[in-house]
Amino acid sequence: MGNTSSEAAGCAKNPAFEKTTQKGHSKEQNLEYAVSSMQGKRPSMEDKHLYCVELPVHGKIPTFLVDHAIFAVFDGHGGPFSSTYVEEHFLQALVSTFLMLDEMLIPMQKQRNAAISSGELTPPPLAAESDSEDENTAGTDSGIPLKLNGERSGSTCVAVLLTPTHFVCANTGDSRAILRRNGKILPLSFDHKPVEVGERARITSAGGVVKGKRIDGDLAVSRGFGDYMYKKDPGLAPDLQKVTVVPDLVVYPRDQAFDEFILLACDGVWDVASNTQCADIVQKLLTEGETDLGNICEEALDTCLDRHSGDNMTVMLVGL
């Protein structure tokens, strides 16, 4: 969890170690998946997640979305509002964006082709830029209403989109995703911490300080949704604020012969286990004959608990 200093100071008087586990499969995409979550030693559960192996297109032609799947983990802090909001709106925003691009690019491409065929040297652009912003969403995270700027919670997001040809990972915050391919571990994301050189430079340029590895001595993560108290400088663009939601993207071509699994988790897991250690936990169980991915996720949570993780924990496993 990209927690605040007050959250880091306390643990629940009555910890909750029960696990909530879900699992499924897609014959069309030849994959299985599971996710397991545990409140752990925190006073409340702020982790959220989503998965969808058949993206809804609401009756429209899914030119970009055939055989796509999405898996995501959201790690909240300062309360569950932000992580819950992102969980509830993420899929709709993703699909709407794809459909908008689809509808926009097809006629634009026809115009370009016609321009090229007619010998025109400068074909029309693929997209037109808008000079205006919606007054209800200006300066906020991807359309989140301005009235929510007083909300003090925040959330990380790590999301992996599986296309027929590529893995596309978007990450903002310190949740993480990895890919195991042919016995090797490939990072699909990199943590956004205030102590990282680029993150520190942005924070200090925005008038903040990094103290005790935290922004202004309080927030332990430097990118994410929400956290509006760190995004309120009217003279700075959203990507230049102390905290920005702008994600990093990592893209890998798929390799059907050697891709093994993708693992997503919040920092309650990564704080006590490295990329390699987490992958080894999964691989050991698979090698021993475990076929239930839900059981593997639960075993990973138990292992992290044994290693004294004091945070909410969520593990999501996608078998390829």
Whether residue 65 is contained in a domain is answered as yes
Whether residue 168 is contained in a domain is answered as yes
Is pLDDT of 260 > 80? yes
Torsion sign (Cα): 53, 262, 265, 219: negative
**Mean pLDDT (whole number) for 279-288:** 97
Angle formed at CA 123 by CA 122 and CA 125, multiple of 5 degrees: 110
Check residue 67 and give its pLDDT.
87
Whether residue 212 is contained in a domain is answered as yes
Residue 308 amino acid letter: H
> Rounded CA gap, 17 and 11, in Å?
13
What is the distance of C-alpha 194 from the center of its chain?
Answer: 18
**Mean pLDDT (whole number) for 138-142:** 45
**228, 217 in Cβ contact below 8 A?**
no
Helix axes 275-287, 293-306, angle to 10 degrees: 130
Check residue 136 and give its pLDDT.
37
pLDDT-derived band at 12 (thresholds 50, 70, 90) equals low
**Higher-confidence residue: 85 or 97?**
85
DSSP alpha helices (H): ranges in 118-257?
197-205
Whether residue 276 is contained in a domain is answered as yes
Mapped to the 3 state alphabet, what secondary structure does 70-135 carry? EEEEEEEECCCHHHHHHHHHHHHHHHHHHHHHHHHHHHHHHHHHHHHHCCCCCCCCCCCCCCCCCC
**41, 15 in Cβ contact below 8 A?**
yes
Look up tokens 């359309």; give the residue. Answer: 143
Whether residue 255 is contained in a domain is answered as yes
Check residue 99 and give its pLDDT.
78
Check residue 134 and give its pLDDT.
40
pLDDT-derived band at 28 (thresholds 50, 70, 90) equals confident
Is pLDDT of 213 > 70? yes
> Rounded CA gap, 312 and 16, in Å?
10
Q: Hey, which bits of 153-207 come out as E strands?
A: 154-155, 157-162, 166-172, 176-181, 184-187
Check residue 81 and give its pLDDT.
94
Least confident of 55-59, 60-64, 155-159, 176-180: 60-64
> Rounded CA gap, 207 and 42, in Å?
32
Is pLDDT of 210 > 70? yes
Check residue 55 and give its pLDDT.
82
User: Taking Cα atoms as reference points, which of 237, 293, 22, 264 lies closest to residue 162?
Assistant: 264
**225, 245 in Cβ contact below 8 A?**
yes
Tell me what percent of the residues of the chain surpass a pLDDT of 70.
78
**Domain containing 48 — which CATH number?**
3.60.40.10
Look up tokens 């006590």; give the residue. Answer: 272
Check residue 96 and give its pLDDT.
84
User: Taking Cα atoms as reference points, which of 38, 35, 42 lies closest to residue 78?
Assistant: 42
Using only the alpha carbons of the chain, give its radius of gyration.
Answer: 21
Report the residue count for the chain.
Answer: 320
**Mean pLDDT (whole number) for 50-67:** 74
> Rounded CA gap, 210 and 22, in Å?
39
pTM: 0.83
**250, 187 in Cβ contact below 8 A?**
yes
Whether residue 15 is contained in a domain is answered as no
Least confident of 9-13, 82-86, 126-130, 160-164: 126-130
pLDDT-derived band at 152 (thresholds 50, 70, 90) equals confident
**Mean pLDDT (whole number) for 141-165:** 77
Mean pLDDT of the chain: 85
Q: Based on the structure, what is the number of domains in the chain? A: 1
> Rounded CA gap, 76 and 269, in Å?
14
**Mean pLDDT (whole number) for 19-25:** 96
Domain around 283: 5-10+20-319
Look up tokens 């990973």; give the residue. Answer: 300
Decide: helix, strand or coil at residue 179: strand
Q: What is the pLDDT of residues 95-134, one digit of tens each?
A: 888 877 766 665 555 555 554 555 554 444 443 333 333 4
**Mean pLDDT (whole number) for 250-277:** 97
**Mean pLDDT (whole number) for 221-249:** 96
Look up tokens 């996720």; give the residue. Answer: 297
